[in-house]
Structure 1
Amino acid sequence: MSMDPAPDPIFARLDRAGLVQHVVRLITDAILQGRLKPGDRLTESGIARELGLSRAPVREAARLLENRGLVVSQPNRGFFVREVTVEAIDSLYELRICIECAAVERLVAGDPAQALIGLRERIDEMRDLAEADDPLSQIEADMAFHRLICLHSGNERFVTVFDQIADETQLSLMLIGRLYDDPMRMAETHEPVFDAIAARDAQGARAALEYHIGTARRVVTDIFRKLKEDGSA
């Protein structure tokens, strides 16, 4: 009797590395969506039980999240969602200015045509999300805009560093709720950067990006400082 061949699998089996990265993504989403808040403890056994896993991949995921600045470890106590400080936010934006300004100069010096397509799409997406009043997704589109600059710079190290600090940046923005009173303002602030890149003006692009991130740095730290003083964060 002939046996029918087994059907091809629909889903690829996750190896150890893939499993850990999947847990990283799930915990990251929980933090950025506010389901896990600053100061909350990551209970390895509880997370493992909910996901139907052993504790080992959860522990590895927590260590990767520590490297990304989203969680901190305390001796004999485990991992906790990082408490964000004004000083940490300020230094984070300072680092972004250094990396992204260098990246945009490299981008303009090359051929920015492909990057411009993606950058325009992200600005349009921010506008659509402003009309839909979806600030969390708007923040994600904002970060995608800035990642594209690093990605198309031709220096993969810029992308590596950006990815390491992107989640921490999103966490700080999520905690303050909104960056601007007018949600459309977030999209508008990216237009000068786009225009300078489109004009192939390297110095203008650098100046526009430095102003753009510098303004966000001031606004975010001021809001967060006030929230801390009011006991709201």
Structure 2
Amino acid sequence: MNQDTRKSGFSPLAREGLVDRVADLISRAIITGQLAPGERVSESVVARQLGTSRAPVREAARLLESSGLLTYAPNRGFFVRQLSADTLDDLYELRLVIESAAMRRLIRNGPGTAVDQLAAQIDELYRIAEAGPSSDTLTQVQADMQFHRLLVAASGNPKLLAVFDQIATETEFSIMIIGQLYDDPHRIAETHIPILDALRAGDEAAAVEALRFHIVVAQTMVTRKLRDLEEQGARGT
């Protein structure tokens, strides 16, 4: 195993669903910090590690460019995106618009099985918190995002879900950059309960407000921590 393979953890793939699988592997490498912000993603190196041609790697990179994880520089290739605090503000603002619209639609059309699904996902968040050190931060972040994806999916609007899916990975990436939102992982689960309670009660105004509060708190914490990192970088510390 060469040095490049040891660093990224990539290994050869079969051909079925190749582009999506390559995209998933690169995405996970980015989110977990194996590929750092600003680092070049070499098509030839990744292709060699995965035992494939450069074509599916290039297609996967284009997918990740559209999802906000990679950027492309002409004649230089693809690079891991360097997120700024201002970019994250915009991202969370978009999330608030999408999820608020989904919540309103969900309550007006009737939640159906969504309440049970969301309650089960909160239970999953508690289960992950109870696992303690054996559960990594990425597992917690992905479980958190799954709660919100279930909410958007239950609205029945595929356009809202498509946009949510487009920015979900970027959101996970932003949280992984700063490490974590809460010192106690149980807080991640607890912050979703007011949203579920308002949905269960069928109170549209309360549900949208609970959702807004939840997202804005996360937005404030993430952008503040990233600004701190930006200031440390500017000072060279």
Asked if these proteins are the same fold (TM beyond 0.5), I'd say yes
Residue 150 (str. 1) matches residue 152 (str. 2): yes
Work out the CA distance in 2 between the residues paired with 1:31 and 1:49: 18
**Which residue pairs with 2:204 in the alignment?**
202
**Which residue pairs with 2:228 in the alignment?**
226
Tell me the alpha carbon deviations over residues 89-131 of structure 1, each in whole angstroms, 9 at most, x when there is no partner. 0000000000100101111112213111111111111112122
Q: CA deviation at 1:22?
A: 1.2
**Which residue pairs with 1:217 in the alignment?**
219
Alignment CA distance shift 1:107-1:14 (3 Å):
farther
Tell me the alpha carbon deviations over residues 35-90 of structure 1, each in whole angstroms, 9 at most, x when there is no partner. 11111111100110111111011001101100000000111110001001001100
Gap runs ≥5 in structure 1? 1-12
Alignment CA distance shift 1:168-1:147 (3 Å):
same
Aligned length: 219
Q: CA deviation at 1:220?
A: 0.7
Work out the CA distance in 1 between the residues paired with 2:193 and 2:50: 42
Between 1:111-120 and 1:73-82, the stretch displaced more is 111-120
Which stretches of structure 1, 4 residues or longer, exceed 3 Å deviation after superposition? none
Q: Aligned AA for 1:85?
A: S
Q: CA deviation at 1:199?
A: 0.6
Work out the CA distance in 1 between the residues paired with 2:24 and 2:105: 31
Q: Aligned AA for 1:102?
A: A
**Which residue pairs with 2:57 in the alignment?**
58
Work out the CA distance in 2 between the residues paired with 1:225 and 1:131: 31
Task: Choose which of 165, 179, 182 in structure 2 pairs with 1:180.
Answer: 182
**Which residue pairs with 1:9 in the alignment?**
none
**Which residue pairs with 2:115 in the alignment?**
116
What's the secondary structure of 2:79's corresponding residue? strand
Work out the CA distance in 2 between the residues paired with 1:207 and 1:79: 39
Work out the CA distance in 1 between the residues paired with 2:167 and 2:18: 22
Tell me the alpha carbon deviations over residues 186-210 of structure 1, each in whole angstroms, 9 at most, x when there is no partner. 1111000000011111111111101
Q: Aligned AA for 2:147?
A: F
Work out the CA distance in 1 between the residues paired with 2:140 and 2:107: 25
Work out the CA distance in 1 between the residues paired with 2:228 and 2:129: 24
Q: Aligned AA for 1:53?
A: T
Work out the CA distance in 2 between the residues paired with 1:72 and 1:26: 17
Work out the CA distance in 2 between the residues paired with 1:195 and 1:185: 16
Q: CA deviation at 1:14?
A: 4.7
Q: Aligned AA for 1:206?
A: V
1:131-150 matched pairs, under 5 angstroms: 131-133=130-132, 134=135, 135-150=137-152
Alignment CA distance shift 1:96-1:140 (3 Å):
same
Identity, % of aligned positions: 52
Q: Aligned AA for 1:217?
A: Q
Q: Aligned AA for 2:178?
A: I
**Which residue pairs with 1:35 in the alignment?**
34
**Which residue pairs with 1:46 in the alignment?**
45
**Which residue pairs with 1:189 in the alignment?**
191
Work out the CA distance in 2 between the residues paired with 1:180 and 1:113: 31
Work out the CA distance in 2 between the residues paired with 1:36 and 1:140: 18
Gap runs ≥5 in structure 2? 1-13
Determine which structure has more spread, i.e. the larger CA radius of gyration.
Answer: 1
Work out the CA distance in 2 between the residues paired with 1:154 and 1:128: 28
